[in-house]
Chains A and B, each alone.
Chain A
Amino acid sequence: MTPGLLPMPLVDYLALSAVMFFIGVTGVIVRRNPLVMLMSIELMFNAANLLFVAYARAWLNDAGHIFAFLVITVAAAEAAIALAIVVIAFRASKNVDVDEASALRG
């Protein structure tokens, strides 16, 4: 099926990536600490990157590598801005529970 002769079948990478992605989703849902939630988002980014790299290898096409590179860039920018928001929210309220940060709730 794959011209690039992957080390493992592609479905194995798909399954591993799906499991990692949903662990990240669970982390965002369950944890109330914004830092752990951000780390769960990084987990989801990495699950997506794993699929990009696996498919790039399967089809021997560089586009997947470039896209993974873009995702890493976006993840770095997202982490920087989100951590800045966490810091100013903490400065303002001395609290890091996201359920308490409800000032914008309608």
Chain B
Amino acid sequence: MSVLFWGLAVVLVASAMWTIMASKPVYSVVALLANFFALAVLYLTLSAEFLAMIQLIVYSGAILVLFLFVIAMLSSGVASFSVGPNRLPRIAVPAVLLVLIALGLVVVGIFMPHPAPLPLAGAAVNAGAVGDANVFGSVADFGRALFTTYLLPFEVTALILMVAVIGVIVLAGEHAPYVGTPRRAEEVRKSLREAIAREGD
């Protein structure tokens, strides 16, 4: 088990590094995909089988594909898309030093002796193998918790998703770019049309 954990840890850290260092956003997406798959396997070793599947379906299937669509849409016909944004901002070096110091503090804090917290009341005691029904982390167990104890948070997720859908329609829908009043939006559209016509010449 420890071989699996450390192997996955190496994959997770390496793919995370590749994500932030890749020269093109598409490479970042591929590295992030490897990261999400390794994380899903790690979830399986932690008997969170439902979350492992959610990780693959929602993150790899939906979010990363959304990223790919946007990259494909923005980079078509724009040669400089992946060249310009790679230079470092001026604050990068001190900021990264601060981040490393913070990371060092976190690691020191992690390995300091902690008082053992008390087990939570009502915790299930059965942690069977992955795939068993009715043990901790199984789909039945997760669903029971989701639709009984945590029904309200689950319903709040519906609200969050609806806000996201409405927000995207407002931002990028038929009347986009929506800037201020409808008249202002019409002006923006007109100037954009002119700019596009100039590009065509």
Contacts and interface: CB of A to CB of B under 8 A. Distances in A.
B51 A69 contact: yes
A6 to B, nearest CB: 7
A97 to B, nearest CB: 5
B20 A81 contact: no
A60 B136 CA distance: 7
B172 A35 contact: no
A36 B29 CA distance: 8
A65 B58 contact: no
B96 A60 contact: no
Nearest to A75: B63
Interface in B102-155: 102-103, 106-107, 110-111, 116-117, 119-120, 123-125, 127, 136-137, 141-142, 145-146, 149-150, 153-154
Nearest to B119: A3
A4 to B, nearest CB: 5
B32 A62 contact: no
A11 B67 CA distance: 33
A58 to B, nearest CB: 9
B32 A39 contact: yes
Contact of A40 (B19, B55, B81, B85): B19
A32 B89 contact: yes
B74 A43 contact: no
B95 A81 contact: no
B107 A80 contact: no
Interface string A52-89: 01101101111101101110111111111101111110
Interface of A: 1, 3-8, 11-12, 14-16, 18-20, 22-27, 29-36, 38-40, 42-43, 46, 49-50, 53-54, 56-57, 59-63, 65-66, 68-70, 72-81, 83-88, 90-92, 94-99
22 contacts: A5-B127, A16-B9, A29-B96, A30-B20, A30-B95, A31-B85, A33-B86, A35-B25, A35-B70, A36-B85, A39-B19, A50-B39, A54-B46, A59-B117, A61-B123, A66-B154, A68-B51, A70-B157, A90-B74, A92-B192, A94-B78, A96-B84
Interface of B: 1-2, 4-5, 9, 12-13, 16-17, 19-20, 22, 25, 28-29, 32, 35-36, 39, 42-43, 45-48, 50-51, 54-55, 58-59, 62-63, 66-67, 70-71, 73-74, 78, 81-82, 84-89, 91-92, 95-96, 99-100, 102-103, 106-107, 110-111, 116-117, 119-120, 123-125, 127, 136-137, 141-142, 145-146, 149-150, 153-154, 156-157, 160-161, 163-165, 167-168, 171-172, 176-177, 188, 192
